[in-house]
Amino acid sequence: MDIIDMDALALSAAIDAKTVSAVEVMQATLTRIDAVNTDVNAIVSLRDRDELFAEAARADTEPRKGWLHGIPIAIKDLAKASGLPTSEGSPLFAGHIAAKDDLMVGRLRAEGALIIGKTNTPEFGLGSHTFNPVHGATRNPYDLGKSAGGSSGGAAAALATRMLCVADGSDMMGSLRNPAGWNNVYGMRPTWGTVPSEAEGDMFLHQLSTSGPMARSPTDLGALLDVMTGADPHQPHGFSPADTLPQLARDLPRQRIGWLEDWQGALPYADGIKELSELALGQLGALGHDVDWIAPGFEADDLWHSWITLRSFSVAAGLRALYDDPDKRDHLKPAAIWEVERGLAMDAMTLQHASEVRSDWFRRTTDLFEQVDVLALPSAQLWPFDVDMTYPTEIAGVQLDTYHRWMQVVIPASLLGLPVVNIPIGFGANGLPAGLQLIGRRGSDARLLQLAQVWHAATTWPQKHPPKILT
């Protein structure tokens, strides 16, 4: 098997056994980037090659730091990596060099990862379509005329095209799930609090976004998750779960999977999305698990309004300083201005009501998880759309009222910080890939990855169906 096609753990073992060197891995990585990145535009801010080869050569002579030793990684361009620009997709920050690593990035580096550059993201991570005025658009490697999703679209496309073997991402509103589904790879939103953010600003109110792993196999997801997780003593929330990877080798009990379908008609789906999802659920049933439709028992609109209230509150808190400066405000995209202005206009009781709805939904999911072990929904409500489109305005004839309404299917898990694994489930008649969300109760990350591993062993979609751009 070529170096570039190896999963991360297999590559790690080869480096450890010295059957392949870190220099050879770096050479293969940069050769692949040269071959495909011009078309896909997933890797940005690539570092100087001589520096990268020097780092790889040192990795070949230094004591092994961890399982990522000698493995090239590019960091999503919302996180800071020392010595690299962190544009966040905004011209306001283009060229700004990070003085230090974010906590999560530092953990990857301490495990031996060689950070080669960044992966592309939408401006400030807003919108599940990776384009921005700094680096341009990331294209879907299964159809270069389509979106790669987002906001971890650069990471997902880099994995699909074998420019990376493992990647980090982040997820507020599906950003580890939608792009994974659209690029035929795995993405995981872990239980909120297991992967700490930065000990900056307010650390109590905003509990929507989290970092997490992306990979071409669930075992690689688990291995990277174990590096990323662990409470930060400088932050009030969070906990340190037991290592996930060792648990994936254990036998998985029969799982009860509850199919939420289209939320009793509340969520419009493009033709083929529900059918492909149900085909995958049938396969999970054939693998020995119980799959049944289950009623959500909660109004989709109530969830939606709770979500967009809390999201705008969070976005406004993060971007208000830029918005308050008229010169900088002119450089914010319309979605960012819309979010900030909604957030600034809210009163305390509006936020209280949104939090009460979220609390009601938590109580309802407690009941649901008495009936099933896992909830299932599509990872997106439509197929990858044209890369030149800003965002979809309708699905199956239903008009959409915001720039992100087409991603409503991801908010039931995001609102509560539940763990979710996107599994790739194949391709539509249009030749484009899709994914399925497997949602668990808080803390069930390892169990979800066990189920994903059972699926992967039976299907191996990322390995069997690489993008045609590679052939």
List the CATH number of the domain containing 208.
3.90.1300.10
Q: Which domain holds residue 22?
A: 3-470
Instruction: Tell me whether residue 283 is exposed, middle or buried, using C-beta atoms within 10 angstroms of its C-beta: 0 to 12, 13 to 18, 19 or more.
Output: middle
Provide the residue-wise pLDDT of the chain in tens; the chain has 471 residues: 799 999 999 999 999 999 999 999 999 999 999 999 999 999 999 999 999 999 999 999 999 999 999 999 999 999 999 999 999 999 999 999 999 999 999 999 999 999 999 999 999 999 999 999 999 999 999 999 999 999 999 999 999 999 999 999 999 999 999 999 999 999 999 999 999 999 999 999 999 999 999 999 999 999 999 999 999 999 999 989 999 999 999 999 999 999 999 999 999 999 999 999 999 999 999 999 999 999 999 999 999 999 999 999 999 999 999 999 999 999 999 999 999 999 999 999 999 999 999 999 999 999 999 999 999 999 999 999 999 999 999 999 999 999 999 999 999 999 999 999 999 999 999 999 999 999 999 999 999 999 999 999 999 999 999 999 987
Measured CA to CA, the distance from residue 229 to residue 104 in angstroms comes to 8
Q: Which two tokens stand for residue 320?
A: 């208000």
Counting the structural domains of the chain, the total is 1
CA nearest 83: which of 60, 109, 63?
Answer: 109
Phi, psi angles (nearest 5°) of residue 377: -145, 155
Confirm if 241 and 200 have CB atoms less than 8 A apart. no
- The tokens for 183 are 């690029």
Whether the pTM exceeds 0.95: the reply is yes
**What is the distance between the alpha carbons of residues 267 and 415, in angstroms, rounded to a whole number?**
17
Give the C-alpha separation, 185 to 177, whole Å.
Answer: 9
Assess contact for 278 and 314: CB atoms under 8 A: no
Q: What are the two backbone dihedrals, phi and then psi, of residue 135, each rounded to the nearest 5 degrees?
A: -115, -5
Query: What are the φ/ψ torsions at residue 102 (nearest 5 degrees)?
Result: -65, 160
Contact (CB, 8 A) for 188 and 421: yes
What are residue 212's DSSP bridge partners? 169
